[in-house]
Amino acid sequence: MPVSTLAVLLDGLPGRPNALLANLDLHPDLTQETGRVVSQSLMAQALNIALLAALLERAPTAAAYMQDLRLAGGRLTFDHGAMRTVDLGRMGDLPRGETAFTRILRPLGYVLAAEYPLTALRMTGRAYAHAERPEHIPQFFVSELHVDRFSETFQDAAVRITGASRDPLVSADLRRLDRMAEERRLSLDDASALLPRLAACFGRNHPTPRLSDYETVRGESAEMAWIATEGNAFNHATDRVASLAEVTQLQRAKDRPLKAKVEVSKSGRVRQTAFLADQVRREFHDEHGVVIERVVPGSFFEFIERDRLPDGQALDLSFDSGNAQGIFKMTEAAA
């Protein structure tokens, strides 16, 4: 049988994302494409799988959960990935805040689904859903931290952390994104060249931070401290499960570090919980410019159960500000 276009796109990317294909619940139209044309939907799915593979390399607890699924012959329904951005004009070569990522998501067929105030965190969250297959292609939950709502000391440290950010995208990449937006497809060659460049945007694209700046921002925002070491990587990825109660019972039996509380949306239709963030070693510069290491919270993995809307026609794909702020504490709790 011919190799699928999706497999060709993912071949050779870091984290071996091709190895995940057998254990992901994917729309058959996306897995059966074999031509040399890449649609918006296919490109969006490929990017999500590449970013999931990268998270599994950073988060051992998530990788262990995925290995359980693999051994049991189960499949992960990738609901959404979440990332954090900084609403700051001085971001080096990067556009400010979520603009650095809407320039990627919109050409891939994503539309703004809803906006969520994360008031306690001084952030705004925005959900981007795929226009063509919102239930089958993962959403992006993009949160933006509003630096101007913090102290001047915090703001100065944030500028020092992010002010020399580099942009992984070059003019050729932006032209390809423009073409994808206009024509809703790319050639396989162009898509293969573009995909790793897009994936590179979801990482830390600023220099090694100073430990003093890290401690300054951590005093006011665990989220900004996380961005200082992890950048715009997936903060977490999420499996959409049929029974959250069954999953949590099984994970607790395996003695995995699971959030004690299940977050329930105001509607009652969306329920979420998560593993605590895995601890990772990251480099900093001390006051003399010497590189030192510290253990900090990294990424984590989440579980979500969604009911259908009252009319029964579609899943409730919404988020909830309270749920989101509760889930964000996974990195704070591990700090």
* CA gap 57, 148 in Å, rounded: 34
Band of residue 326 on the pLDDT scale cut at 50, 70, 90: confident
Mapping DSSP to helix (H, G, I), strand (E, B) and coil, where does residue 277 land?
A: coil
Other C-beta atoms closer than 10 Å to the C-beta of 330 total 25
Contact 225, 212 (CB under 8 A): no
Band of residue 256 on the pLDDT scale cut at 50, 70, 90: very high
Percentage of the chain lying above the pLDDT 70 cut: 99
Q: Which of 14, 332, 26, 238 is nearest to 6 (CA)?
A: 26
Residue written as tokens 């921002």? 217
Band of residue 333 on the pLDDT scale cut at 50, 70, 90: very low
Looking at residue 324, its pLDDT comes to 87
Cβ-based neighbours of 201, under 8 Å, separated by 6 or more: 100, 101, 104, 168, 169, 232
Band of residue 334 on the pLDDT scale cut at 50, 70, 90: very low
Looking at residue 335, its pLDDT comes to 45
* CA gap 303, 326 in Å, rounded: 13
Q: What is the pLDDT of residues 135-168, one digit of tens each?
A: 999 999 999 999 999 999 999 999 999 999 999 9
Cβ-based neighbours of 294, under 8 Å, separated by 6 or more: 211, 281, 282, 284
Looking at residue 1, its pLDDT comes to 59
Band of residue 90 on the pLDDT scale cut at 50, 70, 90: confident
Say whether pLDDT at 329 is over 60: yes
Say whether pLDDT at 86 is over 50: yes
Percentage of the chain lying above the pLDDT 90 cut: 93
Mean pLDDT estimate for the chain: 95
Looking at residue 312, its pLDDT comes to 83
The predicted model gives 104-126 an average pLDDT of 97
* CA gap 335, 331 in Å, rounded: 6
Band of residue 96 on the pLDDT scale cut at 50, 70, 90: very high
Q: Which of 158, 151, 297 is nearest to 214 (CA)?
A: 158
Cβ-based neighbours of 58, under 8 Å, separated by 6 or more: 233, 278, 280, 298, 299
The predicted model gives 41-53 an average pLDDT of 98
Instruction: Give me the amino acid identity at 320.
Output: D
Q: What is the pLDDT of residues 122-131, one digit of tens each?
A: 999 999 999 9
For 291, the enclosing helix (H) or strand (E) is: strand 291-297
- Core vs surface per residue 64-80: b (16+ CB within 10 A) or e: ebbeeeeeeeeebbbbb
Domain spanning 5-333: CATH 1.10.3720.10: no
Q: What is the pLDDT of residues 182-224, one digit of tens each?
A: 999 999 999 999 999 999 999 999 999 999 999 999 999 999 9
Sign (positive or negative) of CA dihedral 159, 99, 80, 311: positive
For 114, the enclosing helix (H) or strand (E) is: strand 110-118
* CA gap 286, 64 in Å, rounded: 34
* CA gap 214, 211 in Å, rounded: 5
